[in-house]
Amino acid sequence: MTKIFTTILLSFTFFVSIGQTIYEPQILILSPNEVKYDKVFENEIAGYNDLIEKSNKLAEQEKGLKSSESVNQPANIKLMIQDEVTFYKNIDFFKQISSISEQFLAYKFFEKFPNLLIELKDAKSRGSIEDLKNISEQTKLQYVLNFRIR
């Protein structure tokens, strides 16, 4: 009886898991929620934001998503590129930390974990453990990276 139950359970698990790709590790990077800086730097930060907006090559990135090279990429890479393009639509001086972190982690982890998934979202968190846990459970991602800039 236990052999039949075990066989049924293993068969069910096998058929349910077919088609599901498990990415390892899974990291969600959020935009900085709380940003505090001295008002003396307001003009300088506004200047950097203008430079970022002028140099933003969003159209080229969106065009690259539809290229033949992009079509042949694995699903996790496509998701990561799509998240970058979406994130860059509202990029500013402080959100660059999230973008740079995503690029750095992808660079460092990709050799060891080719099935890596790093999502970059323009979402914010208060930074409490409960809030980050809820975000992790909602997105079904293992790790959440949240910045507080002061």
- What is residue 21's predicted lDDT score, i.e. its pLDDT? 63
User: Tokens 């860059």 map to which residue?
Assistant: 88
What's the average model confidence in pLDDT over 145-149? 85
pLDDT at 15: 45
Verdict on whether the full-model pTM lies above 0.95: no
Summarised one tens digit per residue, pLDDT across range 107-126 is 999 889 888 999 999 988 88
pLDDT score, position 12: 46
Answer for the pair 145, 29: CB distance below 8 angstroms, yes or no: yes
**Could you report the per-residue pLDDT of 46-98, keeping only the tens digit for each?**
999 999 888 877 767 777 677 777 778 888 888 888 898 899 888 999 999 99
Tell me how far apart the 2 most distant CA atoms of the chain are, in Å: 76
* Alpha helices in 27-124, H assignment, sequence order: 42-55, 58-65, 68-71, 75-87, 96-109
pLDDT at position 8, please?
Answer: 46
Instruction: Kindly tell me if the per-residue pLDDT of 145 is higher than 50.
Output: yes
Q: 2-47 pLDDT, tens per residue?
A: 455 444 444 444 444 445 567 788 999 999 988 888 999 999 999 9
The residues that bridge with 149 in the sheet, in sequence order, are 35
- Stretch 101-108: mean pLDDT: 93
**CB atoms < 10 A from the CB of 149, how many?**
13
Structure-model confidence comparison of residues 7 and 140, the more confident one: 140
**Which of 44, 47, 30 is CA-nearest to residue 126?**
30
Asked, as a colleague might, if the bond just before 25 is cis with ω within 30 of 0, I would say yes
